[in-house]
Amino acid sequence: MKAAVGITTALSTLLFSANLRAADDDERPGTFVLQVENDLFGGGTDQYYTQGVQVTFVPKDKWEPEWFKDLMDMIPGVNLDGNSTFAVALGQQMFTPEDTTRPNPDSTDRPYAGWLFGSIGAIVEKPDSHLLQNVSLDLGIVGPASLAGYTQRRWHSLIGVGLPRGWGKQLHNEPGIMLSYQARLRQPILEPQHFLELDVMPTAGVTLGNVLTQASVGASIRLGQNLGLTYGAPFIRPSLPAAAIVRSKGQFGWNLFAGVEGRAVARNIFLDGNTIGDSRSVDKNNFVLDFQGGIEFTLGYARLSFTQIYRTREFEGQRVPSQFGSISLSAIF
């Protein structure tokens, strides 16, 4: 009798543990995301938008605290009744003129500028309608305190290439703030029962702040397998960032994608110059287009994407458009 009870107890424990694992598998996993954007992957020159790095943490489903939900509910248009989570990020971006060999850069070229920032936000998914909403608050510093000049000089010293000589003329220190909202709608065209899937995703967003103030619209198309795992490759602002989330782990998916995005820019501190006080500046173009194309893989506990971006001229006198690449690596847990 004792043996039978023991076997029954062991089986019950085993089944309970299996159910817990199954429940865990049904929940959206968490991700750590490393993003690197660099014009080395484009034209191979240090000019205009020359580098961006961002690390993002998205916790597992249902990890967000109640105070965070209460805070997000105060933002108009954001409803956390769907599958919601929060995301935190830390990043740095650097911008340089076309000619980095001059100690006194051309006054008609974009100024040297750096941006060091932290971000916190909410990601809300409406699975029934394939709608994804993202709201985030970025806080940081523009200027020498961003360490962009130090970072670029140290990196150039390590790889043995010429040092940029004009960082002494960069924008001066200024605290920065941005509040951003994005909506992304995934519209399946070819469903999973086909060998290949196809979807299209229109996007729209707005950013307000002394660093960037802009409105954005765009669309992307993807062809591959298991497209529902993600909402596309992530990017660093000013591009509309696709969500860093992966919807489930342990599955394989891939896709080729292409997209276009248009931005109406009211303010860009990296072109307009500092908000208070004299600084270098150029006359910006108020409308900018990004053309994107790349490939994304999701395999087991990792996601990898590579994107090539072509950006139209951002200011008057810009000799050539910007080209750069974006690499994103996610660890899924």
Determine, yes or no, domain membership for 22.
no
Q: Higher-confidence residue: 74 or 154?
A: 154
Structural domain for 209, as ranges: 30-332
Lowest average pLDDT, out of 6-20, 73-87, 133-147, 156-170, goes to 6-20
Determine, yes or no, domain membership for 2.
no
Q: What DSSP line would sit under 146-201, residue for residue? A: G-HHHHHHHHHHHHT-PPP--GGGSPPPEEEEEEEEEEEE-EEEE-TTSSSEEEEE
Determine, yes or no, domain membership for 8.
no
CA distance 118 to 173: 16
Helix (H) or strand (E) holding 78: none
| pLDDT value of position 287 | 98
CA distance 135 to 127: 18
Reported for 152-158, long-range contacts at CB under 8 A and 24+ positions apart, including other chains, are 152/46, 152/50, 152/51, 152/94, 152/96
| pLDDT value of position 23 | 40
Cis peptide before 192 (omega within 30 of 0): no
Helix (H) or strand (E) holding 210: none
CATH code, 139? 2.40.128.140
Determine, yes or no, domain membership for 20.
no
Determine, yes or no, domain membership for 289.
yes
Determine, yes or no, domain membership for 301.
yes
- Residue pointed to by tokens 């003329």: 169
| pLDDT value of position 119 | 94
Q: What is the chain's mean pLDDT, rounded?
A: 87
pTM score above 0.85 = yes
CA distance 261 to 35: 19
| pLDDT value of position 309 | 95
Determine, yes or no, domain membership for 21.
no
Q: How many domains does the chain have?
A: 1
Confidence of residue 16 (pLDDT cuts 50, 70, 90): very low
Strand stretches in the chain, DSSP E:
31-38, 48-58, 83-96, 113-126, 131-142, 174-185, 187-190, 197-209, 212-225, 251-268, 287-300, 302-311, 322-332
Confidence of residue 11 (pLDDT cuts 50, 70, 90): very low
| pLDDT value of position 25 | 52
Bridge partners, residue 326, by sequence: 37, 307
Contacts for 285 with CB less than 8 Å, ≥ 6 apart: 265, 312, 313, 314, 315, 316
CA distance 241 to 302: 19
| Structure token digits, residue 97 | 């003129």
Determine, yes or no, domain membership for 75.
yes
